[in-house]
Structure 1
């Protein structure tokens, strides 16, 4: 803490002073008053150290008196620096004077034995109980603070000596959030593990401030908080995030890649399953349709089993326990066999209609289909051929030599007749 007129106050933990942080947003403090935050942890032993630095001026004071308060306890720790024991020049200190207090004597309520109890930072518990809030509301004003007052004083003899009763202050181990009234506090001061000691001496002197400005007290307020709260208050910066671990990032990337591959594989398997189910459904639908047609045809045949029956364009015959069903369907040609106990059925249907054979002229001038001509015509000699005019088209036909001559003569005679008719 910055000294005031060469007066310095510190909190000592493990032999070293705690780092102090200015209170955020407080602005200019009152004259001779300093407020600082310190970072503490639970179960830390600490002490309060007051130092008069070289250059301190006693003025007309014979003593420098100091006292301190911990949390809500009544004042205790009344100590003084004596001018007569100091190295000074006309009241200006040449060497420092220092006092460290780490414990205080209290009388045990049960045994009545005096014990020295060290100063320890503890953990403050939270309780939502309304009773707890009411019972501690008047004690919350100074919790979480160590307050030290220093002033120049004159020694006066007491009219009545003072005997310390040694009553241990009440420690708040648990409070309600309502009692905090918005304060961020999670530590307290506790007194444990006391060791036996002698009772304090009876005080026969008192110390009063000297008159004038030189006797005005100096006040030091030390607010102890956990690191988390100091960060939330903005007293200290938050811990920076550690840099990313390259090896961990690589492992994470590989894990994500494996996950993506696994998800893709599962998706493909699901698609294959759906396709298989769809194909099976289509197959069942077709089988049901064929079965329906078969049952319909068989029921028709059963009504007249001795003669061929036409059913919806089909020809059904029963021969020796076998049903032959000809399904006439111009758009498709398929054959289906169905076996049943004692009988079987064969379905046949044409995919396309056979074209009508072309017409050809015969030797006698009649017109027959090609297939009939093939049955009746006499196989001509390979060396002879005759062209026959049918319906304005000339068709080549293989005929015997005599047939060719007769055809030529008939044709010549016909032309002569037409000429004579024209002349007439």
Structure 2
């Protein structure tokens, strides 16, 4: 709620659906007046807040006076204007403040049909806009029309009460032309400076509580209120565009599909307890449609090389054992008749010529010890 330090105990708040609207403090506008004394007076007694408006929602202005505010020996007028149009002026009389508590609600202008009071509730109305090309004079005229739109203002005056009177008749209120017509469209250039999004209109009449009307006089004059409470109402979008509310952050890009690290081969598990595959996120700069290459752990490659070394040692061991066994088998000689001996090779074939020792080729093994070049092989030949 809006509170002025120089008026402790006086509170003004705008409500929708019986709930106070959130307020965001902002700087006061420059006071436009030809008298510098008036400018200084009003600047020191004004507080301005932004509030959020929603199209079609009815709103009320709630006013309260309580301790420690001291009414002293005067009455107090709360002059309420919306979009530059007078709405109502609740009057706090000294006799009504003996308990140090007083409150009132302003939901719209009160008028009379005969002797029956009715109220025209206020509601937020969206401003229609157009970007069609128009003459600059028309845009200037629209700016003047909209200069007070989007503002709720409550000004407090010290006053004296001189007597009771009747309120305005329905005919007088109906004939009173409001300053702004929200059925027409306004050029974007006419609203861009203040980013005006809403104005106010009057809803259908409703029964009102009967109130007394009094003739009053402002003690300090029209230009010297003791306090001004100003509320600028805008849509949620307009408040974000003005920087009053934080903008909704853009959604972050979806991460690239995760890649799973290669497990250690089951035949040669890596030392330590087995762990589940870890998932690594792709960098935010990676294209969404191309997942990153799988990550191979350095330990897995070492284990693979170690396994291949062990297999090579085993092959060499088998080769050496085979060679030793071959050397241990003696040549077998058989006689075919007297005087001439026939020497047979171990494979059983006859040799008609001179004896010749043949090489024993035990095996030929090709082992790939690298993963980088598939054409790089180690060839081991074992011969007798």
Inter-CA distance 54–166: structure 2 relative to 1 (3 Å threshold): same
Partner of 1:166: 173
Partner of 1:118: 121
Under a length normalisation based on structure 1, what TM-score does the superposition of the two structures give? 0.48
Partner of 2:274: none
Inter-CA distance 132–193: structure 2 relative to 1 (3 Å threshold): farther
Inter-CA distance 25–153: structure 2 relative to 1 (3 Å threshold): closer
Inter-CA distance 248–36: structure 2 relative to 1 (3 Å threshold): farther
Q: Deviations over 1:78-118 (max 9, x none)?
A: 21112212234xxxx3xx3211111323589xxxx985321
The answer as to 2:59 corresponding to 1:52 is no
Instruction: Return the alpha-carbon distance in structure 2 between the equivalents of residues 105 and 162 of structure 1.
Output: 8
Between the two proteins, the alignment pairs up a number of residues equal to: 243
Q: How does 1:19-418 map to 2 (within 5 A)?
A: 19-23=22-26, 30-61=43-74, 63-73=75-85, 75-88=86-99, 93=100, 96-105=101-110, 116-127=119-130, 128=132, 129-130=134-135, 133=139, 136-157=142-163, 163-164=168-169, 165-167=172-174, 169-173=178-182, 174-180=185-191, 182-195=193-206, 203-209=213-219, 216-242=225-251, 256-257=289-290
For the residue of structure 1 that corresponds to 2:72, the secondary structure is coil
Inter-CA distance 86–45: structure 2 relative to 1 (3 Å threshold): same
Shift of 1:32: 1.2
Flag the structure with larger Rg.
1
Shift of 1:202: 8.4
Is the 2:27–2:48 contact (alpha carbons within 8 Å) kept by the matching residues of 1? no
Instruction: Return the alpha-carbon distance in structure 2 between the equivalents of residues 172 and 104 of structure 1.
Output: 18
Is the 1:11–1:47 contact (alpha carbons within 8 Å) kept by the matching residues of 2? yes
Instruction: Return the alpha-carbon distance in structure 1 between the equivalents of residues 139 and 29 of structure 2.
Output: 28
For the residue of structure 2 that corresponds to 1:103, the secondary structure is coil
Shift of 1:172: 2.7
Instruction: Return the alpha-carbon distance in structure 1 between the equivalents of residues 28 and 213 of structure 2.
Output: 42
Inter-CA distance 101–133: structure 2 relative to 1 (3 Å threshold): same
Structure 2 residues without counterparts, runs of 5 or longer: 31-39, 260-285, 292-384
Shift of 1:179: 2.9
Inter-CA distance 231–254: structure 2 relative to 1 (3 Å threshold): closer
Inter-CA distance 59–16: structure 2 relative to 1 (3 Å threshold): same
RMSD, aligned CA: 4.0
Shift of 1:232: 2.1
Is the 1:24–1:235 contact (alpha carbons within 8 Å) kept by the matching residues of 2? no
Partner of 2:314: none
The structure showing larger relative contact order (alpha-carbon pairs under 8 Å, at least 6 residues apart) is 2
Structure 1 residues without counterparts, runs of 5 or longer: 259-424
Shift of 1:13: 0.9
Higher helix proportion: 1
Q: Deviations over 1:26-63 (max 9, x none)?
A: 799821111111111211111011111320011221x2
Shift of 1:186: 1.3
Partner of 1:416: none
Instruction: Return the alpha-carbon distance in structure 1 between the equivalents of residues 67 and 211 of structure 2.
Output: 31
Partner of 2:367: none
Instruction: Return the alpha-carbon distance in structure 2 between the equivalents of residues 48 and 40 of structure 1.
Output: 14
Partner of 1:287: none
